[in-house]
């Protein structure tokens, strides 16, 4: 199957969730590598600061405020961005995490799905048909290694990220032949405001600059999955192949949840 990878000459890069963490750093690194980058989040001031930082370095970042859970709003936002130039590369990065603390099927659970899964869908729905019509585009969906398997205190997060991984796999069959590349991003733990609030050990934690660099490298590669750090990725992939009795024992022991 031919792999579609876009270049700055094809149009804009669009990064959602770019007011902090991985999205912010990724937008900066893409801009430094020659992309004009449209960025989206709810906090305008943060996006404006990012745009100014890029402009001071001689690069272009264009802020567009939006809430990914607003389906109609996201469709309007994409029209607004595309009035500047077509979106060639979309990194649907927005995501949220609430540790499960007993009330796991309450509001936090639904919000996780609304943001992680619904928010990604609200970006794809209006954009992908445009890319198909142009016969060119590239979409990268932010999942997580937490989506490889059900992990303790992560019922909503693991299952929402798992759904995104499977969605990207299924999308690839339909979109690659139409000229639209599909990739999934599965980071391990990265130092960001999202993980700052975690009160549990985070093995193989990496810096946000390192994570964004690995994503940038992955976006121009022929890999479907951009996953890192390797030790975390292979550990979780291997554990997930075990029979369930061994899986539950090992993960429970390893996380102190047995």
Residues annotated as catalytic are 157
Among positions 68, 131, 141, 236, the unique one binding ligand NAP when judged by CB under 6 A: 68
Among positions 11, 63, 95, 229, the unique one binding ligand NAP when judged by CB under 6 A: 95
Q: Provide, rounded to whole angstroms, the least separation between the CB of residue 120 and ligand NAP.
A: 9
Q: Name the phi and psi angles at 41, rounded to 5.
A: -170, 180
Nearer to ligand NAP, 67 or 209 (CB): 67
Q: How far is CA 239 from CA 204, 249, 250, in A?
A: 16, 11, 8
- Residue 71 near ligand NAP by CB under 6 A: no
- Residue 139 near ligand NAP by CB under 6 A: no
Angle at the Cα of 19 (from 6 to 142), degrees rounded to 5? 50
Cα-Cα end-to-end distance for the chain? 44
Report the candidate in 215, 137, 126 with the shortest Cα–Cα distance to residue 176. Answer: 137
Q: Provide, rounded to whole angstroms, the least separation between the CB of residue 19 and ligand NAP.
A: 4
In DSSP notation, 197-217 reads T--S--TT-B-HHHHHHHHHH
- Residue 195 near ligand NAP by CB under 6 A: yes
- Residue 227 near ligand NAP by CB under 6 A: no
Instruction: Mark residues 16-55: x for contact with ligand NAP by CB under 6 A, - for none.
Output: -xxxxxxx-----------------xxx--x---------
Instruction: Mark residues 144-163: x for contact with ligand NAP by CB under 6 A, - for none.
Output: x-------------------
β-bridge partners, 41: 65
Torsion of CA 159, 87, 78, 134, to 10 degrees: -100
Distance of CA 155 to the CA centre of its chain: 19
Which chain residues interact with ligand NAP by CB under 6 A?
17-23, 41-43, 46, 67-69, 93-97, 115, 119, 142, 144, 187, 189-190, 192-195
């Amino acid at each position: 199957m031919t792999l579609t990878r876009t270049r700055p000459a094809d149009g804009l890069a669009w990064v959602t969730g770019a007011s902090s963490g991985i999205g912010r750093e990724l937008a900066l690194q893409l801009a430094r590598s020659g992309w004009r980058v449209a960025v989206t989040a709810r906090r305008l001031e943060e996006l404006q600061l990012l745009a100014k930082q890029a402009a001071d370095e001689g690069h272009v970042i264009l802020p567009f405020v939006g809430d990914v859970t607003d389906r109609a709003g996201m469709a309007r936002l994409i029209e607004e961005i595309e009035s500047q130039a077509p979106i060639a590369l979309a990194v649907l990065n927005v995501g949220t995490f609430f540790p499960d603390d007993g009330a796991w099927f309450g509001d936090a659970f639904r919000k996780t799905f609304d943001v992680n899964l619904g928010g990604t869908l609200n970006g794809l729905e209006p954009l992908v048909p445009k890319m198909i019509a142009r016969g060119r585009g590239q979409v990268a969906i932010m999942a997580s290694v937490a989506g490889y398997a059900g992990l303790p205190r992560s019922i909503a997060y693991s299952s929402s990220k798992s759904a995104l991984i499977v969605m990207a796999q299924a999308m690839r069959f339909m979109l690659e032949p139409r000229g639209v590349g599909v990739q999934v991003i599965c980071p391990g733990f990265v130092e960001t405001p999202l993980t700052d609030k975690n009160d549990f050990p985070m093995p193989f934690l990496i810096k946000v600059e390192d994570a964004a660099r690995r994503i940038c490298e992955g976006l121009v590669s022929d890999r479907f999955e951009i996953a890192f750090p390797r030790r975390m990725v292979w550990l979780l992939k291997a554990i997930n192949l075990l029979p369930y009795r061994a899986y539950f024992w090992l993960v429970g022991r390893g996380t102190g949840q047995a």
